[in-house]
Amino acid sequence: MPAEAFHEWLRREGRIVIVGASLAGLRAAETLRAEGFAGPLTMIGDEPYEPYDRPPLSKAALLGMASPDHTELPRRRDIDATWRLGVAAAGLDMAARRVRLADGEEVPYDRLLIATGVHARPWPKEDEAQLDGVFVLRTRDDAVRLHRRMKGPPRRVLIIGAGFTGSEIASACRNQGIAVTVAERAGAPLVGALGGVIGAVAAELHRENGVDLRTGVMVTGLEGDVTGRVRAAHLSDGSVVETDVVVVSLGATRNTDWLEGSGLGAGPRGIACDAGCRAFDFRGIVTDDIYVAGDVARSPHPLFGYQFLSLEHWGNAVAQAEVAAHNMISAGADRRPHMWVPAFWSSQFGVNIKSVGVPSMGEEVMITQGSLTERRFVGVYGYQGRVIAAVSFDNTRWLEFYQRLIETGAPFPVEFTTVDRRPEGRKPVPADFPDPSLPTHGPTVTLSGYSPADRQLVFTPARH
Partner 1 sequence: MTHASLLHRITDYANRANPYPLYEELRKTPVLHEEEDGPYVVSSYYDILGLLHDPRVSSDATNLTAAGADELSGPEATGLPPSFIRLDPPEHDRLRRIANSSFGPPHRPDRIDSMSGELSGIITELVDGFGDARQIDVVDQFAYPFPVTVICRLLGVPREDEPRFRAWVDPIVAALDPETRQRTDDDFQRAAQEARMQLGMYLAGLVEQRTKEPRDDLLSDLAASHGADGTMSMMEVLSTAVLLLIAGHETTVNLITNGMLTLLRHPEYLHRLREDPGLSVRIVEELLRYEPPVQLVPQRTCVADIDLRGVTIPKGSRIWLMLAAGNRDPERFRDPDRFDPDREDIEHLGFGSGIHICFGAPLARREAQLALAELTRRLDNPRLVEDPPPYRKNAVLRGPRHLNIAIDSVRS
Binding site for partner 1 (CB under 8 A): 350, 368-371, 374, 376, 378, 395, 397-401, 404, 416-421
**Residue 155 or 426 having the CB closest to partner 1:** 426
**Residue 281 or 420 having the CB closest to partner 1:** 420
- Alpha-carbon distance 357 to 272, whole Å? 20
Distance in Å, CB of 251 to partner 1, minimum: 29
**Residue 336 or 376 having the CB closest to partner 1:** 376
Distance in Å, CB of 106 to partner 1, minimum: 38
Distance in Å, CB of 347 to partner 1, minimum: 10
Spell 241-259 as b/e; 16+ CB within 10 A means b. bebbbbbbbbbbbbbbebb
**Residue 89 or 399 having the CB closest to partner 1:** 399
**Residue 155: closest CA among 132, 173, 131, 135:** 173
- Alpha-carbon distance 113 to 109, whole Å? 10
Q: Are strands 240-242 and 118-120 parallel, antiparallel or unpaired?
A: unpaired
Q: Are strands 118-120 and 252-254 parallel, antiparallel or unpaired?
A: antiparallel
Distance in Å, CB of 394 to partner 1, minimum: 8
Number of helices and strands (H, E) in the chain? 9, 30
Computed on alpha carbons and rounded to an integer, the radius of gyration of the chain in Å comes to: 22
- Alpha-carbon distance 236 to 420, whole Å? 43
Distance in Å, CB of 418 to partner 1, minimum: 4
Which residues on adjacent β-strands are paired with residue 245? 157
Distance in Å, CB of 390 to partner 1, minimum: 11
Distance in Å, CB of 368 to partner 1, minimum: 7
Strand runs labelled E in 96-186 = 98-101, 106-108, 111-114, 118-120, 134-135, 156-160, 179-184
The string of DSSP letters for 181-202 reads EEEESSSSTTHHHHHHHHHHHH
Is the backbone peptide bond immediately before 413 cis, with ω within 30 degrees of 0? yes
**Residue 320 or 403 having the CB closest to partner 1:** 403
**Residue 263 or 413 having the CB closest to partner 1:** 413
Distance in Å, CB of 401 to partner 1, minimum: 5
- Alpha-carbon distance 169 to 447, whole Å? 25
- Alpha-carbon distance 135 to 143, whole Å? 9
Distance in Å, CB of 397 to partner 1, minimum: 5
Distance in Å, CB of 133 to partner 1, minimum: 31
Distance in Å, CB of 244 to partner 1, minimum: 30
**Residue 420 or 454 having the CB closest to partner 1:** 420
**Residue 350 or 461 having the CB closest to partner 1:** 350
**Residue 378 or 388 having the CB closest to partner 1:** 378
Spell 342-357 as b/e; 16+ CB within 10 A means b. bbbbbbbbebebbbbb
**Residue 65 or 240 having the CB closest to partner 1:** 65
**Residue 205: closest CA among 219, 218, 188:** 188
**Residue 69 or 420 having the CB closest to partner 1:** 420
**Helices (H), ranges, 71-158:** 126-129, 140-150
**Residue 47 or 394 having the CB closest to partner 1:** 394
Instruction: Report the amino acid identity of residue 8.
Output: E
Distance in Å, CB of 454 to partner 1, minimum: 32
> DSSP class of residue 75?
P
**Residue 53: closest CA among 24, 94, 84, 10:** 24
